[in-house]
Chain A
């Protein structure tokens, strides 16, 4: 039982460390950063999904603290992704845009009217 608890805590700490790596990668959120970041996130998803299915974390306050930190990191990471998305989207609109529709949607000169959006 204790071994299972330790494994669960270690998995949480691993996911937390991966989360920090993903945030670090996205500080320079250019084209080269997004794929490594996605790899980190996939590992975190896989780790947490396994913890959910194994149900090894019951009544584990240390893991709970790590998970709270992961949630806080997730909020910060979401902000980073959203900001990067808007930054590049705005830049593309400036470079390729042909103005805006009456509804405020950007119009691209080389394609159908469309818009960039962020979906969290």
Chain B
């Protein structure tokens, strides 16, 4: 009888085990497209077969094992974070890049080129009313371009501020969801071990969404709850506890430019500044635009900004040359430009034509020696490319300085676009890897994976050969070669 009961029990265990396996399989199928869901494996354990001791063999269900592989998940989150970073930077950089038309046809570059051309034409006909009027018109256009560029940068700043606020709110909302998942894990421990697959799926989906927004480090406690650190240091979620972060925009102590646009700060729950910890994800990208790229152009509490430097140098030098010259009627010249000099960061946004300037007040003649009827106008026509240290900004001529600023913005925009493309590719690879880890057992394939490394190395060498051959052919095919 004992043997019969043993056999029946064994069969019962096997049926239960296979029912569980079937249930898990169905769950896998129904959750195949659930974000963050990792395939669950039913672990069927062989029972000892020793009839003399009443052990009748068979199988029973073991603990359900999640194949969620933290390594693969982390790889996906890392790429999501990089992609989020570049994506967030790409749009504002494209907008800023549009302000600096390097072709010189439009915008600030075009307006400055037109001004220097008008000085040149005026130098050829210093008494021409038409050329004098052209100078005033071109100067007005330059002032408007500086103001327009400064205003667009201010608007971009406001937009980025809103995006930072919105991103911080999203981070806090996701942290709330993760905290709720942790609470669910603590209240309803999975009797078969591990975490309930539904909660696990929610948790991983939230973690992936969070990774797009900021660089987060995730570790798991022995009770299955997730600990989430922002920037590797600031705890967002620990078990059932959540700590909100907030964005702040205020000038720090030591600001030297009155009225300057303050930098963005991220504060932890205790009000500590944690901005420096956040470099990745959309928030890291937005902070880079907000605290590095924009201040480099429009200035902040500590720096003047290249746009203001340029506006001030153009205005000051043009005014100095004109006021040291004389008009055709023998009067001292008047300044062409005016700006609010209360703060160095306000120059570009307030640059305008001097209210007293008229055609007759333009002074083309230089006192010399030797005195020349068009000396001042000639000097102005060369101002853009002048190598005179007094005309330069940081060792660069005015046009070189402008070109360098435009090139830097263009390079940053290009890098963001290239980085976004690369991160998208690597994300696809990481997700494919994640699917493989969760979809099949690669443990058994570990040796093959080692051989795979040789395949990668061989492919890498071939790509290097292709790169070299392509370069050789480019040298051959370039028409000027």
A104 close to chain B: CB less than 8 A: no
B404 close to chain A: CB less than 8 A: no
Q: Which residue of B lies closest to A91 (CB)?
A: B71
Selecting from B52-60, B407-415, B472-480, the interface stretch reads B472-480
Q: Which residue of B lies closest to A8 (CB)?
A: B477
A98 close to chain B: CB less than 8 A: no
Q: When each residue 12-50 of chain A gets 1 if its CB lies under 8 Å from chain B and 0 otherwise, what string results?
A: 100100010001001111110011011001101100110
Number of A-B residue pairs with CB-CB distance less than 8 Å in the complex they form = 164
- When distances are taken between beta carbons in the complex, the residues of chain A under 8 Å from B71 are 90-91, 94
Q: How far is the CA of A95 from the CA of B457 in the complex (A)?
A: 21
A3 close to chain B: CB less than 8 A: no
Q: How far is the CA of A12 from the CA of B433 in the complex (A)?
A: 32
- When distances are taken between beta carbons in the complex, the residues of chain A under 8 Å from B448 are 31
Known: A61-B479, A95-B446. A87 touches B433 (CB 8 A): yes
Whether A52 contacts B428 by the Cβ 8 Å rule is no
Size of the chain B interface, CB-CB below 8 angstroms: 48
Could you say which of B426, B442, B455, B471 has the most chain A C-beta atoms within 10 Å of its C-beta? B455
Shortest CB-to-CB span from B476 to chain A, Å, is 5
Whether B470 contacts A38 by the Cβ 8 Å rule is no
- When distances are taken between beta carbons in the complex, the residues of chain B under 8 Å from A19 are 466
Known: A38-B455, A92-B450, A96-B446. A119 touches B461 (CB 8 A): yes
Whether A71 contacts B425 by the Cβ 8 Å rule is no
B183 close to chain A: CB less than 8 A: no
Q: Which residue of B lies closest to A37 (CB)?
A: B459
Q: Which residue of A lies closest to B465 (CB)?
A: A45
B430 close to chain A: CB less than 8 A: yes
- Residue ranges of B at the interface with A (Cβ–Cβ < 8 Å): 69, 71-72, 75, 421-422, 425-426, 428-430, 432-433, 436-437, 442-443, 445-446, 448-450, 452-453, 455-467, 469-474, 476-479, 481
22 of the cross-chain contacts (CB-CB < 8 Å) are: A23-B425, A27-B425, A28-B428, A29-B432, A29-B433, A29-B456, A31-B445, A34-B459, A45-B466, A51-B473, A61-B479, A63-B473, A70-B470, A76-B422, A78-B467, A79-B422, A88-B453, A91-B71, A91-B442, A96-B446, A116-B453, A119-B457
